[in-house]
Amino acid sequence: MTVAIAFPDLKDPDLYVEQAPHEVFRRLRQEHPVYWNPEEDGGGFWALTRYADIVEVSKRPDLFSSAHENGGHRIFNENEVGLTGAGESAIGVPFISLDPPLHNNYRKFIMPALSPNRLAGIEERIAARCADLIGKIPLGEAADVVPLLSAPLPLLTLVELFDLPPDMWVKLYDWTNAFVGEDDPEFRQSPEAMGAIMSEFITFSQQLFEERRGKPGTDLATLLATMEVNGESVPFREFLGNFILALVGANETTRNSLSHTICAFADNPGEWDRIRADRDLLKTAVREMVRHASPVMHMRRTATADTEIGGQAIARGDKVVMWYIAANRDETVFPDPDRFDVGRGNIQHLGFGAGQHVCVGSRLAEMQLRVAFGLLADKVERFEVTATPRRFRSNFINGLKNLDVRMVPV
């Protein structure tokens, strides 16, 4: 195996606590874009940091697998420690951890549920909820916008899609933090506490599954509970896995893109002035928001045969980790990539992935960002971050636990 070169361990969650390590990723792109990152257990993974390499791997699911039996879609081996890394055995395989053609069969069921026809009127309802949330933020005073706006906005959209009571967003917030926070002691205080959270979630999900099976509706929970794949109804375990996937996917991307973008506008007030002067910029500026934030930092694949990436030999069975947060600042694709520029246009970032596994809810996420910042532009002259936010201790989610901001009113 290639001798390791002195770079920080990209798997170490402490690397991400103070800030996203953009300088580390820049050096890797320039010096070792296909880099062997050793792990403490004697294993390791290939870290990909260039846009072109990640797109190429994403387009070859036959050669680079995300299947559960090959380890899944995270750095840790999902088939050994479970979907959330907590050793759970009750959760089935979500469709993100399947390869084609089975992966595509699930997408064919889910995509229509997020089509414009099925979501008719949802933008107006999102706007109404968002206006209500913004109306409760004390403008001119420092306030934590994560629980006031960033977290509830996508979760309230999610409870509508799943036809759940609106106040369920608070419980979903706690659950999703636990699902993705395997390395953060604030989210996983002990194995016993995590066990209690999983037990509570599974009990709720079992009831939801049985209710939707017994009395189907038109909501997303019904779809996940009643879908048939290869002529067979999905069992509860698979419903559970895909339910977790939907909760995390629909929440973390929008929530953290919104928070990071408020920070970006605070640091770049001229860009906020551009939005306030020309709201049409929001149609494509939402893509720059996701690129700049890169809320999901990586996804993993496993090589199914000996191959190469960027001239580097890759052996069958090797883990390959695609660092979207690095590729989204690839200088060969995005000029002056560290600059936040709402006028970049209709860019093709990797914040939602690429290839077979591109996020099915990407358009809904962009809609919520567009609506939120459109409404904020009516109320807010500028943003002032009043305290350094606390970050997730995570190598997976580029998340902010809080964000104290003073929104200066118009």
The single residue listed with the structure tokens 């930092």 is: 297
pLDDT over 50 at 138, yes or no: yes
Q: Return the structure tokens found at 172.
A: 């979903």
pTM for the whole structure: 0.94
Strand pairing class (319-323; 44-48): parallel
| C-alpha triplet 381, 384, 387: angle, nearest 5° | 165
pLDDT over 60 at 4, yes or no: no
pLDDT tens across 81-94, in order?
A: 777 665 666 788 88
Give me the residues paired with residue 47 across strands. 35, 321
Tell me which of 274 and 104 has the higher pLDDT. Answer: 274
Q: Return the structure tokens found at 112.
A: 């229509």
Q: What is the mean pLDDT of residues 213-220?
A: 92
Give me the residues paired with residue 397 across strands. 296
Give me the residues paired with residue 322 across strands. 48, 299
Give me the residues paired with residue 232 across strands. 229
pLDDT tens across 68-85, in order?
A: 999 999 998 888 877 766
Burial class (CB in 10 A: 0-12, 13-18, 19+), 206: middle
Kind plus residue range of the DSSP H or E element containing 207:
helix 191-214
| Mean pLDDT estimate for the chain | 92
pLDDT over 80 at 203, yes or no: yes
Phi-psi region of 395 (alpha: psi -120 to 50; beta: other; left: phi over 0): alpha
Enter the CATH code of domain 13-409. Answer: 1.10.630.10
Q: What is the mean pLDDT of residues 253-265?
A: 97
pLDDT tens across 368-400, in order?
A: 999 999 999 999 999 999 999 999 999 999 999
Supply the pLDDT for residue 3: 47
pLDDT over 90 at 313, yes or no: yes
Transcribe 339-381 into DSSP letters.
S--TTS-S---STT--GGG--TTHHHHHHHHHHHHHHHHHHEE
CB of 157 within 8 A of CB of 368? yes
- Which amino acid is present at 158? L
Kind plus residue range of the DSSP H or E element containing 27:
helix 22-31
Compute the radius of gyration of the chain from its Cα atoms. 21
Supply the pLDDT for residue 192: 87
Which of 312, 355, 347 has the alpha carbon at shortest distance from 28? 312
**How many contiguous H segments (helices) and E segments (strands) does the chain have?**
15, 12
Query: Residue 45: which pLDDT band, with cuts at 50, 70 and 90?
Result: very high
Supply the pLDDT for residue 86: 59
Range with the poorest average pLDDT among 48-62, 191-205, 271-285, 318-332: 191-205
Q: What is the mean pLDDT of residues 205-222?
A: 94
